[in-house]
Amino acid sequence: MYDPAQLRTFLAVAQTLSFTQAARRLGLRQSTVSQHVRRLEEATGRQLFARDTHRVDLTVDGEAMLGFARTILATHERAAAFFAGTRLRGRLRFGASEDFVLTRLPEILEAFRRDHPEVELELSVELSGTLHQRLAAGRLDLVLAKRRVDDTHGELVWRDTLAWIGAPRLRIDPDRPVPLVLFPPPGITRARALEVLEEHGRSWRVACTSASLSGLIAAARAGLGVMAHSRGLIPPGLVPLPARAGLPDLGGVDFVLSHGRRPGGAQEAADALTAAILAGADRLVRGTGMPGPVDGRGDA
């Protein structure tokens, strides 16, 4: 009933909230992306996206289609693999940043292991900067991590905005240094937080440093200080600081998939896991808030 190519296009638009970014991810013309979405909307008889020249948003029916699209595509891929008679094998060294500790990434990995039981999956959880370094050194095959919005490496999964977050009752004294809860170097959010504070002449002090997201969350919940964190992945018990806190804007951050260079089974397994993550990427943020706008995302 529904064309898998159109469903893949729908998921790409739903995850990036951008026809332009979806076209880049899929290697299609933007007009083709628009055509796929239009034909899927005609097939369902429902409007899946509310869009104008400035923004793209999922409708209620679009939200419902997310689950159906993932299920249909997963079934399609399993059937194709079964009748092709091929099974992936080999060792896959996958790195995920600390940001995903509290998300539904384990569900995606569980499904991947179920579909590819002969792939030896080795997971590393580190800071994004560390993962990119290990990938460049050939110690990882695939990485899901953050990058700065002005970087170009990796395949964009989604774009988010950064926010200052803290305990609900936390108040920032404008006359005292900003207490910071930080990842250690080479943390990307750490570097960005220090940059913007320095640029705006705000003094700061380190209230807590931890390489563990759980450690940072505990310190922030205790009211020790503020964190720079992805708005779409805000942990329970923490909230964005209001504008009256007077902290400078942090800008955006990209979440990307980056591949190493290993021939054979590892590359095939990395490609399969990439497809699984892209198909379920909306589940990594949905429920804690969707990512913020992508520049030019409404140019359908």
* Residue pair 32/19 in contact by the 8 Å Cβ criterion: no
**Which of the pair, 299 or 114, is modelled with greater confidence?**
114
148 in any annotated domain = yes
**Average pLDDT of the segment spanning 125-135:** 93
pLDDT at 97 over 70: yes
CATH number, domain of 182, equals 3.40.190.10
Residue length, the chain? 300
Q: How is residue 281 written in tokens?
A: 């990427």
pLDDT at 291 over 60: no
298 in any annotated domain = no
Backbone angles phi, psi at 259, to 5 degrees: -105, 145
pLDDT at 22 over 80: yes
Q: Of 49, 84, 119, at which residue does a domain stop?
A: 84
| Number of domains present in the structure of the chain | 3
Q: Are residues 116 and 46 in the same domain?
A: no
300 in any annotated domain = no
- pLDDT at position 293: 34
262-265-269-274 Cα dihedral, nearest 10 degrees: 30
pLDDT at 288 over 80: no
Residue written as token pair 């239009």: 38
Indicate the average pLDDT of the chain: 87
Q: Are residues 182 and 233 in the same domain?
A: yes
pLDDT at 107 over 90: no
Residue written as token pair 């997310």: 66
47 in any annotated domain = yes
CATH number, domain of 69, equals 1.10.10.10
pLDDT tens-digit map of 112-121: 888 888 899 9
295 in any annotated domain = no
Q: Are residues 173 and 30 in the same domain?
A: no
- pLDDT at position 287: 44
**Average pLDDT of the segment spanning 136-140:** 92
Q: Are residues 145 and 258 in the same domain?
A: yes
pLDDT above 90 coverage of the chain, percent: 56
pLDDT tens-digit map of 262-280: 655 678 889 889 988 887 7
pLDDT at 289 over 60: no
**CA 136 to each of CA 76, 99, 190, 267: distance values in angstroms, whole numbers, following the listed order:** 34, 20, 21, 15
pLDDT tens-digit map of 45-84: 999 999 887 788 899 999 899 888 888 887 887 777 667 6
Query: What single string gives the DSSP state of each residue in the chain?
Result: ---HHHHHHHHHHHHHS-HHHHHHHHT--HHHHHHHHHHHHHHHTS--EEE-SS-EEE-HHHHHHHHHHHHHHHHHHHHHHHHHT----EEEEEEEEGGGTTSSHHHHHHHHHHH-TTEEEEEEEE-HHHHHHHHHTTS-SEEEEEE-TT---SEEEEEEEEEEEE-TT----TTSPEEEEEPPTT-HHHHHHHHHHHHTT--EEEEEE-SSHHHHHHHHHTTS-BEEEEGGGPPTT-EEPPGGG-PPP--EEEEEEEE----THHHHHHHHHHHHHHHTHHHHHTTT----PPTTTT--
98-169-250-148 Cα dihedral, nearest 10 degrees: 0
Helix 60-84, helix 4-16: angle, nearest 10? 130
pLDDT at 296 over 70: no
pLDDT at 283 over 80: no
Q: Are residues 121 and 267 in the same domain?
A: yes
Q: Are residues 116 and 197 in the same domain?
A: no
Range(s) of the domain holding residue 120: 90-159+254-285
Spatial separation of the C-alpha atoms in residues 114 and 77, rounded to whole Å: 13
Q: Of 84, 110, 145, at which residue does a domain stop?
A: 84
188 in any annotated domain = yes
- pLDDT at position 46: 94
Q: Of 84, 103, 130, at which residue does a domain stop?
A: 84
pLDDT tens-digit map of 226-245: 999 999 899 999 999 998 88
Q: Are residues 57 and 105 in the same domain?
A: no
Q: Are residues 164 and 247 in the same domain?
A: yes
Spatial separation of the C-alpha atoms in residues 11 and 15, rounded to whole Å: 6
Q: Are residues 183 and 155 in the same domain?
A: no
**Which of the pair, 220 or 69, is modelled with greater confidence?**
220
292 in any annotated domain = no
Q: Is 260 left (phi over 0), alpha (psi -120 to 50) or beta?
A: beta
